[in-house]
């Protein structure tokens, strides 16, 4: 029988519930368990696809083309799980399923209500993850205890736990034990109050994980145990890690979180094989080489907007024992003068939507190309590479993407016929994994070491095939295409130190143990650039 772990959060948002959940999954996997992970987000958008990255950070895309919360990236990276359509539900998606069924007459005359109809829909989503080949389902409930929006999810968890029976489902509550400087003390009251909010709705956490910046000590543990009704040994502290989020699994293993959770679920503790993970983290912490990368984007006020890109650099850093220092550079600020990029060893131009920052990205790419700074363009970054090349090498004045200039004389990036006339913004993109055939003899093919790969997409516009020949004749090589050759996936300038653009998002496929080949290529070139 599949067991269930629910993770709720208290006191404040941003406690790292996603990383804590993913780290526990990593530990359970290291003990041989098959884990599935899912997240419930209480907001009313049907998915995060239409939201600005400034709202909840990057939109993470899964193989099956679901636009999801960025925590699913942590799940895939830490626990090696593959997420899909069943891994992320929002209130909007749950409500819309119930309302559609009501309109179709699916409730046979009943009054449709929060309980049982919405909660049943949530429980159904939890159950769906409990496939035959899964030992443990971990379900993270977004938001903070006390939020109005998350109440139906917490109520569904209460019911689910009750129905699953003793030892089959547990609730872990992640909370904050703040250090108050003026008093020189850690405070347990916020945690007590947040657990009491859960008690009020009939949900009794089995484990308390306390985020603290200092050693909590026995006294605080005793107090939390007493007031929160959690046995003392299940009040676990999670101190801030010093250098890297990849240290969190080790930190939680030191507190025996995985062992205690398995005991609660009545599962054998077995032997943990965390050696490879620890070795990887050690390599990250002892790296000696260093290079500087400029990440040119337009959501530079929030690092979470480019989460998977930063993580991809970390993975490469682990593989190459190098520190990749990545600065965010606001694209718009490069519009007049992009010379500040000269101090960097590499440039990454990010994806994005809308015209703001596009000319800055084009300026950045021009600088990187003419100065020979290693450069990777992702999605819109690749499209801007093509625009810059068309304008400045092929002399196609005012070449552009029809996304930004519908009347450009040279629409080097445009909508495919199948996309023309589509006005709806949500759910109209090329999304998820598509195969890409690599062209023999290119740098990209050499980096991948394969002839066909699968990469994740999230875009509407494509390179206009009418310009392929001109681009190739000018020196921009088509290095990857859809297997039927109808869509360009990768372009590169083969004799540059490194100048590659990809229509897909390689950052969604990078993993700690298998860094992405294109990021490897960029960082290797940046290290060479730095050492020159």
Q: Which residues are catalytic?
A: 379, 505, 507
Angle at 427 between CA 426 and CA 433, to 5 degrees: 140
Assigned token pair, 511: 């993993």
- What single string gives the DSSP state of each residue in 454-495? EEEEEESEEE-GGGHHHHHHHT-EEEEE-TTS-SEEEEE-TT
In this chain, which residue has its C-beta nearest to ligand GLN? 351
CB of 89 or CB of 504, closer to ligand GLN: 504
Residue 459 interacts with ligand GLN (CB under 6 A): yes or no? yes
Residue 20 φ/ψ, nearest 5 degrees: -65, -45
Nearer to ligand GLN, 246 or 389 (CB): 389
Regarding 352 and contact with ligand GLN (CB under 6 A), the answer is yes
Among 65, 351, 501, 515, binds ligand GLN (CB under 6 A): 351
Least gap, CB of 461 to ligand GLN (angstroms): 3
Query: Shortest approach of ligand GLN to residue 260 CB, angstroms?
Result: 42
- Decide whether 203 or 385 has the Cβ nearer to ligand GLN: 385
Place of tokens 């992405």: 516
Rounded Cα distance between 501 and 509, Å, is: 16
Give the x/- contact pattern for ligand GLN in 306-325, rule: CB under 6 A: --------------------
Which segment (129-137, 242-250, 346-354, 431-439) binds ligand GLN by CB under 6 A? 346-354
The upper half-sphere exposure of residue 356, i.e. CA atoms within 13 Å in the direction of its Cβ, equals: 5
Q: Which stretch binds ligand GLN (CB under 6 A): 68-76, 84-92, 294-302, 351-359?
A: 351-359
Least CB distance to ligand GLN at residue 53 (A): 11
Residue 185 CA to residue 170 CA, distance in Å, equals 31
User: Nearest distance from residue 383's CB to ligand GLN, in Å?
Assistant: 6
Q: Is the dihedral of CA 311, 317, 318, 319 positive or negative?
A: positive
Distances, alpha carbon 177 to alpha carbons 224, 237, 246, in Å: 10, 9, 22
How many angstroms separate the CA atoms of 369 and 388, rounded? 9
Who contacts 268 (Cβ-Cβ below 8 Å, separation ≥6)? 262
* 292 backbone dihedrals φ, ψ, rounded to 5°: -115, 130
Q: Which residue has the tokens 């990440």?
A: 295
Kindly tell me which residue out of 458, 477, 509, 529 binds ligand GLN, with binding defined by CB under 6 A. 458
Sign of CA pseudo-dihedral 347, 519, 77, 490? positive
Site map 376..415 versus ligand GLN, x via CB under 6 A: ---xx----------------------x------------
C-alpha dihedral sign at 384, 386, 389, 391: negative
Question: Which region among 151-159, 170-178, 287-295, 347-355 touches ligand GLN (by CB under 6 A)?
Answer: 347-355
Total residues contacting ligand GLN (rule CB under 6 A)?
Answer: 10
Is residue 49 involved in binding ligand GLN (CB under 6 A)? no
Interface stretch with ligand GLN, choices 198-206, 417-425, 453-461, 463-471 (CB under 6 A): 453-461
**Residues paired with 297 in a beta bridge:** 330
Q: Which of 292, 371, 460, 511 binds ligand GLN (CB under 6 A)?
A: 460
Nearest distance, CB of residue 196 and ligand GLN, angstroms: 44
Give 67's DSSP letter. Answer: E
Q: Does 172 bind ligand GLN (CB under 6 A)?
A: no
Taking contact as CB under 6 A, which single stretch among the options 288-296, 348-356, 384-392, 446-454 is the one that binds ligand GLN? Answer: 348-356
Structure tokens at 213: 């910046």
Q: Give contact residues for ligand GLN (rule: CB under 6 A).
A: 351-353, 379-380, 403, 458-461
């Amino acid at each position: 029988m599949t067991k269930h772990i629910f993770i709720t959060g208290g006191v404040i948002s941003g406690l790292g519930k996603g990383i804590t959940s993913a780290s526990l999954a990593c530990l359970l996997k290291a003990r041989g368990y098959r884990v599935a992970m899912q997240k419930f987000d209480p907001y009313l958008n049907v998915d995060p696809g239409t939201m600005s990255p400034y709202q909840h950070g990057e939109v993470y895309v899964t193989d099956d083309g679901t636009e999801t919360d960025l925590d699913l990236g942590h799940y895939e990276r830490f626990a090696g799980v593959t997420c899909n359509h069943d891994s992320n539900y929002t209130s909007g998606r749950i409500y819309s399923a119930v309302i559609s069924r009501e309109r179709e007459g699916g409730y046979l005359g009943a009054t449709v209500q929060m309980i049982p109809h919405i909660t049943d829909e949530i429980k159904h989503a939890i159950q769906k993850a409990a496939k035959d080949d899964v030992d443990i389902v971990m379900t993270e409930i977004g938001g903070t205890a006390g939020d109005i929006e998350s109440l139906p999810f917490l109520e569904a968890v209460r019911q689910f736990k009750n129905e699953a029976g003793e030892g089959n489902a547990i609730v872990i509550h992640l909370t904050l034990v703040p250090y108050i400087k003026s008093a020189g003390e850690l405070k347990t009251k916020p945690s007590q109050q947040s657990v009491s909010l859960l008690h009020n709705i009939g949900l009794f956490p089995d484990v308390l994980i306390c985020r603290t910046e200092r050693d909590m000590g026995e006294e605080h543990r005793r107090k939390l145990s007493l007031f929160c009704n959690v046995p003392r040994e299940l009040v676990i502290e999670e101190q801030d890690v010093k250098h890297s989020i990849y240290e969190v699994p080790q930190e939680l293993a030191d507190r025996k979180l995985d062992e205690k959770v398995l005991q609660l679920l009545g599962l054998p503790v077995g032997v943990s094989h965390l050696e490879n993970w620890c070795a990887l983290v050690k390599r990250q912490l002892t790296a000696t080489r260093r290079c500087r990368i400029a990440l040119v984007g337009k959501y530079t006020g929030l690092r979470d907007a480019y989460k998977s890109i930063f993580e991809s650099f970390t993975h490469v850093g682990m593989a190459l024992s190098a520190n990749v220092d990545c600065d965010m550079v606001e694209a718009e600020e490069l519009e007049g003068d992009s010379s500040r990029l000269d101090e960097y060893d590499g440039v990454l131009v990010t994806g994005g939507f809308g015209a703001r920052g596009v000319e800055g990205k084009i300026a950045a790419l021009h600088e990187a190309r003419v100065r020979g700074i290693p450069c990777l363009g992702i999605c819109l970054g690749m499209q801007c590479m093509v625009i810059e090349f068309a304008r400045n090498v092929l002399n196609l004045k005012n070449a552009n993407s029809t996304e930004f200039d519908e009347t450009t004389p040279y629409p080097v990036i445009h909508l495919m016929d199948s996309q023309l006339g589509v006005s709806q913004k949500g759910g109209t993109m090329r999304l998820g994994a598509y195969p890409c055939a690599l062209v023999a003899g290119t740098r990209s093919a050499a980096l991948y070491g394969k002839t066909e790969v699968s990469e994740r997409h999230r875009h509407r516009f494509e390179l206009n095939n009418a310009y392929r020949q001109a681009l190739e004749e000018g020196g921009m090589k088509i290095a990857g295409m859809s297997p039927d050759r109808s869509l360009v996936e990768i372009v590169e300038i083969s004799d540059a130190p490194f100048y590659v653009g990809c229509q897909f998002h390689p950052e969604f496929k990078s993993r700690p143990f298998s860094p992405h080949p294109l990021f490897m290529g960029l960082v290797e070139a940046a290290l060479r650039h730095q050492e020159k």
